[in-house]
A = this chain, B = another copy of it.
Amino acid sequence: MYADVMENIFLLVLVTLLSVVQNVFFALKVEKECTGFNSKQHSTAFERLSCANRNCMDTYPTFLAVLWCAGICLSQAPAAFAGILYLVVRQKYFVGYMGQTCQSIPGFLFGKRILFFLSLMCIVGIINHLMLNYGSSDYKEYIQTITKAASTLLLLP
């Protein structure tokens, strides 16, 4: 069973590990800013970083849940690809907050499009499972090909 399971999830595990590394990077940045400006503790830079970090952390469980559901329900390659794109968007968001420029979006939901794509993958996977159960034929192969093609559309700006 072991090899069978691993075959279906190892890309998801890799993306999860990458996101953990990114979380640690964010936390270290906040910590460095916190100890650096110890004299005037509530400096704006620290507050901005801390806010960006909290926004990222707030959506992190949601991201993980959708990523894994999509990967297990349909297929792991497009899900992992979308996950990596999400991490890139998150990095941009955090760096935008760090710099003095105004490129940071105020919203709590960056990467809405990617989360929507992953949710759609879950729903398609469940519908396919139900159709398979109630007697019709299995369209999984076709759906997986379409999903792989569709995931490249996420690269559009």
- Which residues of A are interface residues toward B (Cβ below 8 A)? 1-7, 9-10, 13-14, 16-17, 19-21, 23-24, 27-28, 30-31, 34-35, 53-54, 57-62, 64-66, 69, 72-73, 106-109, 112, 115, 119, 122-123, 125-126, 129-130, 132-133, 140
Report how far A6 CA is from B133 CA in the complex, Å.
10
> Which residue from chain B places its CB closest to the CB of A132 in the assembled complex?
B3
What residues of B have a CB within 8 angstroms of the CB of A107 in the complex? 31
Instruction: Tell whether A13 pairs with B108 under 8 Å between CB atoms, given A61-B64, A129-B3.
Output: no
Instruction: Tell whether A35 pairs with B108 under 8 Å between CB atoms, given A61-B64, A123-B17, A129-B3.
Output: no
> A126 to B10, Cβ gap below 8 A?
yes
What residues of B have a CB within 8 angstroms of the CB of A17 in the complex? 66, 69, 119, 122-123
Instruction: Tell whether A72 pairs with B115 under 8 Å between CB atoms, given A35-B106, A62-B20.
Output: no
Instruction: Tell whether A72 pairs with B106 under 8 Å between CB atoms, given A1-B4, A17-B122, A20-B65.
Output: no
> Which residue from chain B places its CB closest to the CB of A108 in the assembled complex?
B27
> Which residue from chain B places its CB closest to the CB of A54 in the assembled complex?
B58
What residues of B have a CB within 8 angstroms of the CB of A6 in the complex? 73, 125-126, 129
Kindly provide the distance from the CB of A144 to the nearest chain B CB, expressed in whole angstroms: 11
Report how far A125 CA is from B115 CA in the complex, Å.
28
Q: Given known contacts A3-B129, A9-B72, what 7 new A-B pairs fall within 8 Å (CB)?
A: A10-B126, A10-B129, A13-B73, A13-B122, A23-B62, A24-B62, A35-B106
